[in-house]
């Protein structure tokens, strides 16, 4: 089985930075590529901040945090990923952007046995893999936010993905990263989002209709159903642009009304009210990233 000791991540946003952190904490030589040097510096600060919070919470000692950060290289040049054994694409949830990245990586990553993984939460892995000349070595490896905390990864193989690729990536996720992999067929939304997104969209429609406030909807599910986070607070955490993108992928594939994007969600995305990362979504967030006040309506 292929040994994965050198990992690359394309994209240093919320998800990419989290994936980079867990790889570095697992002792892997990890390179993170962003769009340019400025974005690469921001990605490094994102990972450093997450490691510092882990130290403050007592989940990581100071020396381990320093060692993890030392294993990370941040770059604005895709060519720096040429020697990687596994590269995980974690750019925005947009098919054209992901296809462009994977197509470029196919030409850059030198080892013909290297694996290209996508962190897509809803797009067909087959479509993305066909942008490369190694579709048998392209696989979906979908992490969940926050990556350092949540143990699950979805492992998604297309019709072309080889059993060897699946076995290698499953062992990597389980034995190296300490994650719990589950398998899904290559259908929009995979397992988790195919179940989760209709629930979130239903909550958005409830708020949109004035049936109940965002605060009351979330309290109902947290206190009445023992959910750790209500659906609208969860949507804010995921990012409303990402929720909308997943809903669009699901609707495109299944044409079921429950997957249709509510008008309120579309308007909020257009307005830049994307949730926690923007400071405002269905709730408003302060510097501690907790809900700061009960929203009106």
pTM (whole model) above 0.85: yes
Which residues are catalytic, by number?
Answer: 121, 142, 154, 193
pLDDT confidence tier of residue 286, bands split at 50, 70 and 90: confident
Beta bridge partners of 143: 153
Domains of the chain: 6-184 (3.40.50.720), 193-292 (1.10.1040.10)
- Give the pLDDT mean for 156-182: 98
Distance CA 294, CA 262 (A): 22
- Give the pLDDT mean for 232-242: 96
On the question of pLDDT at 79 being above 80, the answer is yes
Q: For 76-160, where are the alpha helices, taking DSSP H only?
A: 95-108, 125-129
Task: Give the model confidence (pLDDT) of 110-167 as tens digits.
Answer: 999 999 999 999 999 999 999 999 999 999 999 998 999 999 999 999 999 999 999 9
Distance CA 278, CA 257 (A): 28
Angle at which helices 192-209 and 231-238 cross, to 10°: 120
Task: Select from 233, 251, 142 the least CA-distant residue to 186.
Answer: 142
Distance CA 49, CA 263 (A): 35
Higher pLDDT, 70 or 291: 70
Task: Give the model confidence (pLDDT) of 7-37 as tens digits.
Answer: 999 999 999 999 999 999 999 999 999 999 9
């Amino acid at each position: 089985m292929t040994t994965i000791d050198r990992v690359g991540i394309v994209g240093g946003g919320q998800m990419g930075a989290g994936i980079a952190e867990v790889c570095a904490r697992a002792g892997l030589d990890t390179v993170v590529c962003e769009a340019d040097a400025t974005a690469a510096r921001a990605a490094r600060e994102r990972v450093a901040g997450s490691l510092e919070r882990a130290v403050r919470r007592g989940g990581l000692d100071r020396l381990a945090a320093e060692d993890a950060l030392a294993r990370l290289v941040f770059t604005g040049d895709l060519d720096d990923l040429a020697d990687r054994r596994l590269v995980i694409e974690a750019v925005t949830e947009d098919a054209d952007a992901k296809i462009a990245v994977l197509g470029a990586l196919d030409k850059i990553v030198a080892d013909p046995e290297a694996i290209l993984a996508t962190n897509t939460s809803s797009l067909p892995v087959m479509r993305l893999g066909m942008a490369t000349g190694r579709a048998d070595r392209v696989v979906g490896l979908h992490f969940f936010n926050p990556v350092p905390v949540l143990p699950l990864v979805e492992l998604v193989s297309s019709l072309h993905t080889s059993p060897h690729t699946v076995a290698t990536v499953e062992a990597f996720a389980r034995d190296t990263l300490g994650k719990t992999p589950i398998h899904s067929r290559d259908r929009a939304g995979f397992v988790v989002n195919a179940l989760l997104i209709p629930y979130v969209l239903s909550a958005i429609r409830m708020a949109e209709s004035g049936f109940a406030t965002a605060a009351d909807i979330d309290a109902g599910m947290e206190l009445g159903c023992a959910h750790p986070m209500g659906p609208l607070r969860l949507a804010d955490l995921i990012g409303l642009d990402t929720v909308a993108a997943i809903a669009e992928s699901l609707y495109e594939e299944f044409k079921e009304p429950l997957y249709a994007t509510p008008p309120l969600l579309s308007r909020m995305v257009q307005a830049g009210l994307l949730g926690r990362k923007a400071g405002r979504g269905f709730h408003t967030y302060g510097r501690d990233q907790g809900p700061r006040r009960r929203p009106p309506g």
